[in-house]
Amino acid sequence: MKCRIFCALLLSVLVPRFGHSWDLRAIGIDRFRVRHVSLYHSRAFLTLESSNVSLVEATWPENTGNQWPRVLSDEWDATRSCRGLRQVLGTDIDRLARLWVLCGAEARGELDCPPKLVIRSLLSPGTGEIHH
């Protein structure tokens, strides 16, 4: 019980700072709220509540080296396909250095995309993705 209270207090102090920790203006994101963060070494995968992007890879801590944040979700993609990462709800990283991405359902005009789970390797990105 004491651990839960301590963790809740710690999160209440740290979470508001996450929203201001990353400067994403370089990739066109100026208004956002961080929904979830998954860390792998110095890489941070940010699930965002934003009008145009829902998944971004950035560095943690910020400003380590020359790495710029990059958009991983496909909300900007105008193709009529359910294949990309859209409406990302959350992420996780397992012991095998795989990024698990949960995407919500999306209704886009004539295109209805079901929810999906996408798994990407962080060690060898050229191996492709697994879609469920």
Higher pLDDT, residue 9 or 86: 86
How far apart are alpha carbons 49 and 32 in whole angstroms?
A: 6
Mean pLDDT estimate for the chain: 78
Q: Among residues 73, 25, 38, which one has the least CA distance to residue 52?
A: 73
Distance CA 67, CA 14 (A): 23
13: pLDDT confidence band, cut at 50, 70 and 90? low
The pLDDT of residue 112: 81
pLDDT value of position 28: 84
74 vs 68: CA distance, rounded Å: 18
Distance of CA 55 to the CA centre of its chain: 3
Please determine, for residue 19, whether its predicted confidence score (pLDDT) is greater than 50: no
Predicted local confidence at residue 45, as pLDDT: 94
* Model confidence band, residue 18 (pLDDT cutoffs 50, 70, 90): very low
> pLDDT tens, 102-118?
998 877 666 788 899 99
- On the CB side of 27, CA atoms within 13 Å amount to 20
pLDDT at 6 over 50: yes
Residues recorded for the chain: 132
Q: In the predicted model, is pLDDT for residue 16 greater than 60? A: no
pLDDT in tens, 32-72: 899 999 999 989 999 999 878 889 999 887 655 667 788 88
Read off the pLDDT of each residue in 9-29 and give the average, rounded to a whole number. 65
